[in-house]
Amino acid sequence: MRPWYARLERPVSLDGLNRLAEEAALRTAGGRPVRFVRPEPADPYYEVKVFETGCVQTRPDSLHDLFNALAWLAFPRTKARLNAMHAAEIPREGGRRGRLRDLLTILDEGGAIVAAPPALERLVRDFRWKELFWERRDEVLRSMKVQVLGHAVLEQALDPRPGITCKVVFAPPGASGDLHAEAWLKELPAHATPRDLPPLPIFGYPGWLPGSERVDFYDDERYFRPLRRQAAR
């Protein structure tokens, strides 16, 4: 998102965001031009309205909403696919959000796209955090690319603390994160749940949080939970 953030007009305004949206030719999956508009009263069919009109309700003074707008600019195909899947599921749910939409919401708010070689991917899936972030930190810095999609995580990162975690979609090294995440979403089965998204304690990435230069930083199992404890929970 950094290139788009650098191009924001100051002060941030809906007009400025919409100029960037028009330049990027943002579209919903149904082809509607995406535009950022002032919020309306709470709408349980928010995602349906975005899909049908392209209007993304955005508070100009909200960092949460600003990061959401930046996510649309940086990951246009993934965001459009997330929205389309929400809009398709809502009429089928009878007012109760299902597990598939739980997954979509978690990815939208707290997701990341991780491009890594198979050995590092396996360490994430096995919750082997100290081996990943400490013993192989040079390889992580060299070979593991993390693109944070989730706008809630980006907002939390302004006040970094232990415990901030992403749920991730893995992509092959060198792949477009946006294209790969879109394709991954298209292949999701109807019975998919948030368990299909492995966690990544993003605050443990080397250098991201003060203290990560010490080996004992990665010994705190309150945050770097081993697989057996997470599975039991």
Task: Give a three-class secondary structure readout of the chain.
Answer: CHHHHHCCCCCCCHHHHHHHHHHCCCECCCCCECEEECCCCCCCCHHHHHHHHCEEECCCCCHHHHHHHHHHHHCHHHHHHHHHHHHHHHHHHCCCCCHHHHHHHHHHHHEEEEECCHHHHHHHHCCCHHHHHHHCHHHHHHHCEEEECCHHHHHHCCCCCCCCCEEEEEECCCCCHHHHHHHHHHCCCCCCCHHHCCEECHHHCCCCCCCCCCHHHHHCCCCCCCHHHHHHC
Q: Is the pLDDT of residue 128 over 80?
A: yes
Strands 111-115 and 145-148: antiparallel
Q: What is the tens place of the pLDDT at every residue in 192-232? A: 999 999 999 999 999 999 999 999 999 999 999 999 754 54
What's the rounded Cα separation, in Å, for the pair 16 and 36? 10
- pTM to 2 decimals? 0.93
What's the rounded Cα separation, in Å, for the pair 181 and 170? 8
Question: Are residues 60 and 124 located together in one domain of the fold?
Answer: no
Q: What is the tens place of the pLDDT at every residue in 30-69? A: 999 999 999 988 777 889 999 999 999 999 899 999 999 9
- Domain holding 41, by residue range, is 2-97
Question: Are residues 146 and 225 located together in one domain of the fold?
Answer: yes
36, β-bridge pairs: 56
Residue 92 pLDDT? 87
Question: Are residues 139 and 202 located together in one domain of the fold?
Answer: yes
Question: Are residues 112 and 11 located together in one domain of the fold?
Answer: no
Question: Are residues 70 and 138 located together in one domain of the fold?
Answer: no
Residue 3 pLDDT? 95
Would you state the torsion angle of the CA atoms of residues 45, 46, 51, 56, taken in this order, to the nearest 10 degrees? Answer: 170
What's the rounded Cα separation, in Å, for the pair 99 and 31? 27
Residue 138 is encoded by which pair of tokens? 């040079």
Question: Are residues 66 and 158 located together in one domain of the fold?
Answer: no
Q: What is the tens place of the pLDDT at every residue in 129-165? A: 999 999 999 999 999 999 999 999 999 999 999 999 9
Residue 232 pLDDT? 44
Question: Are residues 44 and 138 located together in one domain of the fold?
Answer: no
Question: Are residues 222 and 120 located together in one domain of the fold?
Answer: yes
Question: Domain end: 97, 132, 160, which one?
Answer: 97
Question: Are residues 92 and 205 located together in one domain of the fold?
Answer: no
Question: Domain end: 97, 125, 144, which one?
Answer: 97
**Total domain count for the chain?**
2
Question: Domain end: 97, 128, 143, which one?
Answer: 97
Q: What is the tens place of the pLDDT at every residue in 88-123? A: 999 888 778 889 999 999 999 999 999 999 999 999
Identity of the residue numbered 6: A
Question: Are residues 61 and 118 located together in one domain of the fold?
Answer: no
Question: Are residues 93 and 142 located together in one domain of the fold?
Answer: no
Question: Are residues 60 and 81 located together in one domain of the fold?
Answer: yes
Contact criterion met (CB below 8 Å) for 167 and 198: yes
Q: Once rounded to an integer, what is the mean pLDDT over residues 18-30?
A: 98
